[in-house]
Amino acid sequence: MELILHIGMGKTGSSAIQAALLASADRLAAQGAEYLGMWFDMLDPRFRGVQNQDQFFSLPPEEMARSADVLIEVLRARSGTGIQTFILSNEALSGKARQIKPMIDRLREAGITLRIIGYARHPAAWLPSAYVQWGVRDKVDPGPVQPYAVKARKLVHWYSGLLQWHKQMGDILEVRSYDQTADIVGDFIKTIGFELNVPDKRVLERGEDAEIVMRALFNNRFPKHVLPAVFDQTVSRNLVTVPKLEDVIEESFDYSETDLIIREQAALFDQFAEAFGFDLRTSSKSPPSKPEMGALRNRLFDVLLEITLDQAQRIRRLERRINQLETENTSA
C-alpha cells in the first residue's frame, strides 16, 4: 500500500488541489486510489476540522506512533475494495514534521510506502498572500491585526518547516516550485500519477481588497484567534455578491440608448401626437448626464453616516429597554 501526503505549504494552491481530489472520488477509485481528505478523523472523530487539528498534532510521540497502527488498520480495511494508494492533503503538515515523524516511522516499518509532496513559492509573492490569510482573514495572533512588517517577519520562518521535513524524512520528500508551473493542479496530477477531475471554477480565498480591509477592521475587535467564519456569519456570508458602485451607476444612469428607445416606439408617440394635438418629440431634450463618481460617493457617505448614527441611537435605546426588562424580571 502507498500513502501520499500533500503537505502544502499553505497559499501554494492547496485549496485547488483539495477541490480536485474531492471532486475525483469515482475517478480515483477506478485507478485504485482514494482521497482521505484533510483530517486524521479516520483515527478519531475529535481530530476533524481546522479547529480540532491541533489536538492531533499535539499527541505525545508514543500516542502518535500508536495512531499509526490505527491508520494501518483503516487502510488495510479499505484496500479490500481494490484501493492500494491513499492520498491525504493538509497544508498544516508542512510545519509539523517533528510532531508527525513517529507516525511516519511506524507506517514505514509496517511496509507502507510513503510519498511526501510539498510546494514552495517565491517569498515576495508568498508573504503578502500568507499575511492576508493568517494575519487578517484567519487572525491567529492575540490582540489587534498586526502590521504586515511585523507579521511577515514571523511568517517567513514557515519555510523552515519544509527544511525540517528534508532533514528528518528527505528520502521520501519531493518539494516542487509553485512559480515554475502555470497550473498547480496539473503539476500535482503529473507528480502523483493519477488523473483527477479539475473543477472549472478557480478556488480563491484571498478576496478583494475592500473585503480584506473590512476583515481587518472587524477582527481588530477581538482579543483572541478569529476564524474567517466569524466575519462571514456576522458581517456578510458572501461579499462576492456585493455589487460595485461603478457597475450600479453604469446600469442605473446610462441613458445612451434613450433616443433609440424613443425611435423604436415611433408609432406610440405618433398616436400620442394625434390624440392630444402636439408632438412631444419636437422640442430638443437630452437625458441627464451620469452623476460624478466622487460626488456620489461623498453623498452616499453622508447618507450612510446619518443612518449609522440613527441606528446607533436606536440600538442603544433597545439595549436600555432590554436591561430594564431584565431588571424587572429579576426583581419579580
CA distance 270 to 266: 6
CA distance 197 to 19: 9
CA distance 108 to 114: 7
What three-state secondary structure class fits 88?
Answer: strand
Per-residue pLDDT, 135: 92
Going from N- to C-terminal start, the domains of the chain cover: 2-134+143-205, 243-287, 292-332
Per-residue pLDDT, 202: 61
3-class DSSP string for 224-252 = CCECHHHHHHHCCCCHHHCCCHHHHHHHH
Torsion of the alpha carbons at 312, 314, 319 and 325, rounded to the nearest 10: 180
Provide block-wise average pLDDT over 10 residues at a time, the chain (332 residues): 96 94 96 96 93 94 96 93 95 96 97 96 92 90 92 93 95 95 94 90 67 88 89 74 81 85 91 88 84 90 92 94 90 74
Mention the CATH class of domain 2-134+143-205.
alpha beta
Report which of 116, 112, 80 is spatially closest to residue 1, judged by C-alpha positions: 112
Per-residue pLDDT, 204: 56
Per-residue pLDDT, 53: 92
| HSE, side-chain direction, 13 A CA sphere, residue 103 | 23
Task: Find cell 456569519 and name the residue.
Answer: 233
Quote the strand ranges of 159-257, DSSP E. 173-177
Q: pTM for the whole thing?
A: 0.74
